[in-house]
Chains A and B, each alone.
Chain A
Amino acid sequence: MRISRELRATYAFVGRQFNLVKRYFNWEVVFLFYSVINALTIGLIGVTQGPEAVLYLTVGALLWGFLSVLFHEVGESVSWERWEGTIEYTFMAPIRRLTHLGWMCIFAIIYGTIRTGIILAVVAFFFGISLKGANLGSGLLVLVCSSLAFIGLGLMAAVLPLLSPERGSQATHILQGLILLVSGVYYEIDVLPAWLKPLSVISPATYTLKAARAALLEGMSITALGPEMVRLIVIGIILIPLGLFIFNLGERYAMRSGKLARNG
């Protein structure tokens, strides 16, 4: 059957990613170590200003870490397969692009959530932060809802390397940098110059951070966060199909212009 067929392709991607994580396990540990240190140093900046500031900054670091992983995993999946030389093989497989990319995204979310959980635990231990006042359930929900929007952006970014092998990756980095600048990861967006503020309004990360801080700092409940969540979900619902659509256009362009691969 159609659907079960597509579902079974799941194993292909999730299994493959899992095998890769296993094989590159040392690197996983190194990156995780680096992310932990990164979150800690940023948290330490706030120590002189009190526990509130520490938490404010660490939530920024954690969330940015999560979004970066998500964006990276999805956005770089194509350029990475091109580098490995497997891109034609994967693209030639008899499965829908939706299945292919969908499972890459779901893997990225699971992977990012686990990483973020580990970092959160270490950071909380280091600063002796009690997460009693935090609403972890709301926090998790924020992660999931914001994932939708970021997958949409990731899909758009993933197509860039198809359009131009080299410049595509460059553009992805620029996009990611811009999101970091305007979304209020480590500061309130009020401090941005007026001409940058419109960008904060359209960045889904702005709402993610706001909601995550409300959940973890103020212990706000899921219902109280409702409007922010709805906003995030709506952005996701718009961005994912748009991302897929753009990806398909990009794929067709690559198949016309010979950008998929050319050696042989």
Chain B
Amino acid sequence: MEPALVCSAVSKKFKEDAGGRKPGEKWWRGLRPKKKILYAVREVSFEVPRGQIFGILGPNGSGKSTLIRIISTLLIPDNGRVFIFGHDVMEKRLLVRRMINRVSVEAAFFKKLSSYENLIYAARLYDLNAAQARNRSREILERLGFPEKKIYTPMENLSRGLQQKVAVARALLTSPVLLLLDEPTTGLDPKSKRDVQNFILEVQREHDTTIILTTHDMEEAEKLCRRLAIIEDGGFVALDTPANLKDSLASQNGGEATLEDVFFALTGKGWEEAQKDAD
């Protein structure tokens, strides 16, 4: 069967301002900041079969969001290609966009509009009519434990947890076959976190949706993901099932290993080293 997602040798670099004006420097130097090249994603290749939840773990700034943006047609890679159910994301952009949706860390909403108005806007963009959108979003929000009366409250008055639930509902509304979740549970309280996690599992089970998920939460990664990639400085340093990742570290070291141990072992620094760095 055709894989849901194929990334082959995807790379992306950015030109970054090399920092602002230093104290004492002439002010006009700040007008034309120097640029430096930053390799955000390096030669990343992987495949995800249909219906799998695939996790990406990595430190801050390791390239997770960049990779998600490339898959979701928002960034054009410098090298490499991405296929979603066999369609090249660059050549068949419109077609691919219909099949995917993405939830980002920050809730991207019209803050003055209510969740309901935001959801209707999203639904119409994806060619659902208002009635369909209303029913589906009711259903999804209910399952996420979103209080029904808050649906007409402006987004800016909702807590982060509720906003994120609306974001998940918005993505699910359009029945994507590939769902891209960029830290969907970051900043949520344990209850909301569990609501969202259970819903993700439910969606995968019921609709056979393929899901790419980034997270900083090891427990979440273990609970949700069939396979995990660990990314460090733009490149994948490991890709396996959570159990295999732990086993291989355990057999190297002897004894037990947690996913956190694996994370530290693979992202360059041991916990002690990281502590020292922080001091």
B106 interface residue per 8 A CB criterion: yes
Report B84-131 residues with CB < 8 Å from chain A CB. 94-95, 97-98, 102, 104-113, 117, 120-122, 124-127, 129-130
Which residues of chain B are within 8 angstroms of A170 by Cβ–Cβ distance?
A: none
Please give the number of chain B residues whose Cβ is less than 8 angstroms from any Cβ of chain A in the complex.
39
Q: Which residue of chain A has its CB nearest to the CB of B95?
A: A94
Chain A positions within 8 Å of B121 at CB level:
12, 15-16, 19
* Contact bitstring A2-21, B, C-beta under 8 A = 1, else 0: 00010011011001100110
| Surface stretch bound by B, among A44-52, A60-68, A251-259 | A251-259
B182 touches A257 (CB 8 A): no
A8 touches B127 (CB 8 A): yes
Q: Does B65 contact A (CB under 8 A)?
A: yes
CA distance A15 to B110 in the complex (A): 13
A interface residues with partner B (beta carbon < 8 Å): 5, 8-9, 11-12, 15-16, 19-20, 23-24, 84-96, 252, 255-258, 260-261, 263-264
Flag whether B76 is at the interface (Cβ < 8 A).
yes
CB < 8 Å: which of A5, A9, A88 contacts B108? A88
- Shortest Cβ distance from residue B103 to the other chain A in the assembled complex, whole angstroms: 10
Give A78 to B106 CA distance when docked, in angstroms.
18
Distance in angstroms from B16 CB to nearest chain A CB is 9
CB-nearest residue of chain A to B105: A264
**Cβ contacts A to B, 27 pairs, < 8 Å:** A8-B124, A9-B125, A11-B130, A12-B124, A16-B113, A19-B121, A23-B112, A85-B107, A86-B108, A88-B102, A88-B104, A92-B72, A93-B97, A93-B125, A94-B95, A94-B125, A94-B126, A94-B127, A255-B74, A256-B75, A256-B76, A258-B66, A258-B75, A260-B75, A264-B106, A264-B182, A264-B183
CB distance from B164 to the nearest CB of A (A): 13
Q: How far is the CB of A131 from chain B (nearest CB, A)?
A: 37
**In the complex, what distance in Å separates the CA atom of A94 from the CA atom of B94?**
5
Nearest-neighbour CB distance to chain A for B97, whole angstroms, equals 4
Q: Which residues of B lie under 8 Å from residue A94 when comparing CB positions? A: 94-95, 97-98, 125-127
Q: Which residues of A contact B95 (CB under 8 A)?
A: 94
Q: Contact: B112 with A86, CB < 8 Å?
A: no
Q: Tell me whether B110 and A20 are in contact (CB under 8 A).
A: yes
| Distance to closest chain B CB from A207 (angstroms) | 37
Chain B interface (Cβ < 8 Å from any Cβ of A): 14-15, 65-66, 69, 72-76, 78, 94-95, 97-98, 102, 104-113, 117, 120-122, 124-127, 129-130, 154, 182-183
Nearest B-chain residue to A95, judged by Cβ: B125
B122 touches A9 (CB 8 A): no
- In the complex, which of the residues B66, B98, B108, B122 has the most CB atoms of chain A within 10 Å of its own CB atom? B108
Extra 4 A-B pairs, beta carbons < 8 Å, given A16-B110, A90-B125:
A20-B113, A88-B102, A94-B127, A260-B75
The distance in angstroms between the C-alpha atoms of A31 and B66, with both chains bound, is 40
Q: How far is the CA of A179 from the CA of B48 in the complex (A)?
A: 54
The distance in angstroms between the C-alpha atoms of A90 and B104, with both chains bound, is 13
What is the bound-complex CA distance between A263 and B14, given in angstroms?
14
**Nearest chain A CB to B32's CB is how many angstroms away?**
12
Residue pair A88, B74 in contact (C-beta under 8 Å): yes
A244 CB, min distance to chain B CBs, angstroms: 16
Chain B nearest CB: distance from A143 CB in Å? 28
- Is A19 in contact with B113, judged by CB distance below 8 angstroms? yes
A263 touches B120 (CB 8 A): no
A84 to B112, CA, bound (A): 10
How many Å lie between the Cα of A260 and that of B75 in the bound state? 8
- Residues A91 and B124 in contact in the complex (CB < 8 Å), given A23-B112, A23-B113: no
- If A11-B124, A85-B108 touch, whether A264 touches B76 (CB-CB below 8 Å) is no
CA–CA, A16 and B125, complex, Å: 11
Question: Does the CB pair A255–B125 fall under 8 Å?
Answer: no
A87 to B126, CA, bound (A): 16
Query: Is A86 touching B14 in the complex (CB atoms < 8 A)?
Result: no
Cβ distance A3 to chain B, nearest Cβ, rounded Å: 12
A264 touches B104 (CB 8 A): yes
Chain B residues positioned under 8 Å from A86 (CB to CB): 108-110
